[in-house]
Structure 1
Amino acid sequence: MTAPREDVVAAARAWLGTPYRHQQSCRGAGTDCLGLIRGIWRELVGEEPEAVPAYTPDWSEASGREDLLAAARRWLRPCPDGPLVPGIVLLFRMHDASVAKHLAIVSRTEASPCIIHAYSGQGVVESPLSAPWARRVTGRFSFP
């Protein structure tokens, strides 16, 4: 059974304003983009399925390993291409030749699509899914 998408968006919105803290996942105290997804998982699905190893802000760029993409494929459900729907998880490549290393929740899809994500220097924010963000999407997933 898949977590209802409106519950995913509501859970993500509860994290708005949480400061950015690398490798953290504590609503109100600090999180990064993975920590946001982990926190939503804990609220809607239950215990986290695996321990998250320490990671640097550049993730696995030096090795070229797709660690975040592999974890998304293990624990989330792939979503088909097509129109975006609220509540899905987007995975991004920050540069064309780099590994996937950023996550966000689609919060709105009407006239101005938006995402909720934890962003360095910003914290957890709801921001437009602008063209520069949209062209970096490399995966779409839903919570189980």
Structure 2
Amino acid sequence: MSISLEDVSMPLKIHVTGKVVAVENFARYTKESRSDAIKMVSKLLGVCIEEAEEEMNISKGLTVRKCWLKSQWCPKAGSRNTNYPHVECTARAYLLYLLSCTLFADKSGSRVSIALLKLLEDLDDVGKYAWGAALH
């Protein structure tokens, strides 16, 4: 017996039809893909290039750590600086964390693929993706 799209859609209430959940840019680690990933993290999560680069150095790959990602939307009391990210950047950080903990968990349990961030670039499109079909 195999899992059908309906088995995914019904209990989770997520779309199984819509835009394809696919990102090609970050499939392989190269200097160019790393540079593109750093720029994307900086732009979409509202952090400076240096902070994005430092995080990717720590996480060793085209990933960021979940603990760092969580700090982007849930700063500790008193540590919030004047350059607090915009609401959209905060929403992206939260959604990326949520996706990495539920639908796209990896073996490490502590890192998040930057490829998923590309899917959150336009927040108006997030609900149009076939998230359930991606799980099938």
Higher strand residue share:
1
Higher helix residue share:
2
TM-score by length of 1: 0.33
TM-score by length of 2: 0.35
Where relative contact order (Cα < 8 A, 6+ residues apart) is larger, the structure is 2
